[in-house]
Amino acid sequence: DQQVKQNSPSLSVQEGRISILNCDYTNSMFDYFLWYKKYPAEGPTFLISISSIKDKNEDGRFTVFLNKSAKHLSLHIVPSQPGDSAVYFCAASVIYGGSQGNLIFGKGTKLSVKP
């Protein structure tokens, strides 16, 4: 059963507009959420994270919002640029074995930003 879900496999946005990528989760014990960006033939790179005790975290053009009651988070990119075209993975941090933290990843959303 998927604990982290990204229901949109793809998203297409015009350059300069806002991109909104969504992620839902089922486990209320997740304590941190992360977004990764992945270009083809490269490994994922960390983009931004948010603690479960916050509802917003901002870093330049990237903002992540967390709605704990809805078990939903979203990544906003404003303004979108063609270089943002990539696959975006949502991940949740979970304690394993009492003291170890693993990440559980969603299936990803492919963002295409058109010039």
Partner 1 sequence: DVKVTQSSRYLVKRTGEKVFLECVQDMDHENMFWYRQDPGLGLRLIYFSYDVKMKEKGDIPEGYSVSREKKERFSLILESASTNQTSMYLCASSLWTSGAGNNEQFFGPGTRLTVL
9 binds partner 1 (CB under 8 A): yes
Nearer Cβ to partner 1, position 15 or 68?
A: 68
1 binds partner 1 (CB under 8 A): no
* DSSP, res 94: E
Give min distance, CB of 54 to partner 1, in A: 12
Q: How far apart are CA 37 and CA 55, in angstroms?
A: 21
Instruction: Find the binder of partner 1 among 8, 22, 74, 93 (CB under 8 A).
Output: 93
**Between the CA of residue 75 and those of 3, 19, 105, what are the distances in Å?**
18, 8, 15
